[in-house]
Structure 1
Amino acid sequence: MSSNELGGFLRSRRERLTPKAAGLRPGLAHRRVPGLRREELAELAGVSVGYYTRLEQGASSSASDAVIDALAVALRLDPEEHEHLRALAAPRSPTRPRARRSVLRPEVRRLVAAMSGTPAVVIDHRVDVLGWNRLGHALLAGHLPFDAPDGRVRPNLARMLFLDPHHRALYRDWPAKATVTVSALRRAAARYPSDAGLTRLVGELATDSAEFARLWARRPVRTCAHAIRELDHPLVGALTLANETLVLPDDDQQLGLFHAEPDSPAADALALLAHQVSDRDRRVVGEVPDEHSAVPTSETGVHP
């Protein structure tokens, strides 16, 4: 990550806030940019121009809680942006442990597997897929091997969303999903500024996807613990599913669950997908002839 994430975030929010929105009277002088000037923001926050300039230019990498709160008020930050600013401004300890390859606890793996009627997936702070159940795999990435999360290169939701056409085509609300995914990576970058794996992932996506690069430059930090997802599944068609995200705080991991409204077309489609998954699993152990398969078994597309 850039060594001046704090300055970049402050600048992005300063440049989007107009003097009118900030409560300032319009001046007579010509403005080169629509956003606030540094001196205007410094005055609103009650800090010196020199101190604010050092923050934005990276000459000072941390700020007190009082200064952060004053800047958040002056910039009209929402609670999520305020918390992100606080994370960026937190003092960095040179001995702070680096994020390592995440491990899915056996208890969580068994829990996910037991949710046989509900698509479930577990991701880490890099949005690497650590595990999924059969229905979660069939819903999100049936074109990949089921055991892909246990491989050397794990599936990654951001990589799939921007670079894998099969996964991208799943989301009718792709722009909203893309924004939430980039936001998750932005927040992770604030928590783990020395995470080399995260840095490589962001660099790869910014190089290979112009859409990711544009979104990353906007520095979104919106959270999305629950949403309604409109999906176009290649096997069962249109699905409207509620997507709930539960945080596993001890491991900095998230459990994503998908469910349909009872007695809805989406519930019927999800039941059909579960039936196809069950038929495929029985076929693997020799209970159903291969020619009855309704699910492709060959791997296609871009492997994350």
Structure 2
Amino acid sequence: MPGLRREEVALLAGVSADYYVRLEQGRETHPSPQVVAAVALALRLDAEATGHLHRLCLDDTQRPGHPRDETVSAQLLRLMDGWASTPAFIVGPALDVLAANSLAVALHSGFARFDNLARMVFADLAGRGFYRDWDRAARSCVAEIRAAYGFDPGSARIAVVVGELSSASDDFARLWRLHEVKGKSLDVKHVRHPDVGDLHIEYAAFTVNGNPHQQLVVYQAAPATPTAAAFERLRTTPAFRRSEAISPGSDAPRQPAGEAATMGWCDSIDSLP
């Protein structure tokens, strides 16, 4: 917390300075929930960051044993394909795009690959033109990956994405060091598509039952708005027609696949770069 020394945080949390230093360095791996809550209160963390801190202090036996499955169910693919005027896609914990419907592919057709949202923001030249509030999009991406890391600190894929983007982008590395935490939920975004212009999009993210490592992201336009009209124009673009050529409900993601695999509290909150 800016302005507070370690000794002051320890005093506010009711622990010794030496104990607090061991926590920071990852040498104290089993603090009680009461101690974690006291430190979170001393640091004035919000509810989401406090939950993240508690999750970081769990050991492997306390974590849910959900498999890291990147296969998207055929039923979910058919559901997304049925939303003719609604871009929708599935992301994994590291913001890999696992599947998408035709309108979502067309919406992101200005990027070299529609494969990983964080890579698209930080490592694709199209990102700064597409996201009209690039700084907000960048902070959101990093905070979402940080939140996912708290649920699964052993994720090799998150480590790869964080490592590669930290090397490729000073902005990513700087934001990662802030340790901000915020999962996907409800929000709005302003983007600019090369063919249909500016869009003001409302979006919501939903955890997939049966595969909590996946999230369904749904973009919507308010009725009778320029964005709704732009979504309809998007359906006439070559990018949309190319995506439509892929048969609905196939096992392959409806998107260019890209190269998905190449891109320290308690468990040591700084164990990733």
Range of TM-score over shorter length: 0.7 to 0.9
Q: Which runs of 5+ in 2 are unaligned?
A: 247-255, 264-273
Q: Is the 8 A contact 2:148 2:183 kept in 1?
A: no
Q: Is the 8 A contact 1:121 1:132 kept in 2?
A: yes
Cross-structure match for 1:185: 145
Following superposition, the deviation at residue 91 of structure 1 comes to 2.3
Distance 1:185 1:137, change over 3 A: same
Matches within 5 A, 1:97-136: 100=68, 102-136=70-104
Residue 53 (structure 2) pairs with residue 85 (structure 1): yes
Count of aligned positions: 250
CA distance in 1, matches of 2:134, 2:125: 12
CA distance in 2, matches of 1:53, 1:170: 43
CA distance in 1, matches of 2:240, 2:27: 61
CA distance in 2, matches of 1:61, 1:119: 43
C-alpha RMSD of matched pairs (Å) = 2.8
Residue 169 of structure 1: SS of its match in structure 2? helix
Q: Is the 8 A contact 2:105 2:240 kept in 1?
A: no
Cross-structure match for 2:227: 266
Cross-structure match for 2:38: 70
- Structure number with bigger Rg: 1
CA distance in 1, matches of 2:245, 2:227: 27
Residue 167 of structure 2: SS of its match in structure 1? helix
Aligned with residue 159 of structure 1, among 101, 108, 119 = 119
Structure 1-normalised TM-score?
Answer: 0.74
CA distance in 2, matches of 1:193, 1:281: 38
Cross-structure match for 1:8: none
**More deviation, 92-101/190-199:** 92-101
Residue 62 of structure 1: SS of its match in structure 2? coil
Structure 2-normalised TM-score?
Answer: 0.82
Aligned with residue 206 of structure 1, among 141, 166, 179 = 166
Q: Is the 8 A contact 2:6 2:17 kept in 1?
A: yes
Report the identity percentage: 36
CA distance in 1, matches of 2:242, 2:63: 48
Matches within 5 A, 1:1-304: 14=1, 16=2, 35-93=3-61, 100=68, 102-141=70-109, 143=111, 155-251=115-211, 252-276=213-237, 280=241
Residue 232 of structure 1: SS of its match in structure 2? strand
CA distance in 2, matches of 1:77, 1:282: 44
Greater RCO, 1 or 2 (C-alpha within 8 Å, sep 6+): 2
Following superposition, the deviation at residue 284 of structure 1 comes to 5.9
1:211 maps to a residue whose letter is: D
Distance 1:141 1:283, change over 3 A: closer
Distance 1:142 1:101, change over 3 A: farther
Q: Which runs of 5+ in 1 are unaligned?
A: 1-13, 17-34, 149-154, 286-298
Q: Is the 8 A contact 1:135 1:277 kept in 2?
A: no
CA distance in 2, matches of 1:161, 1:203: 15
Cross-structure match for 1:152: none
**More deviation, 248-257/274-283:** 274-283
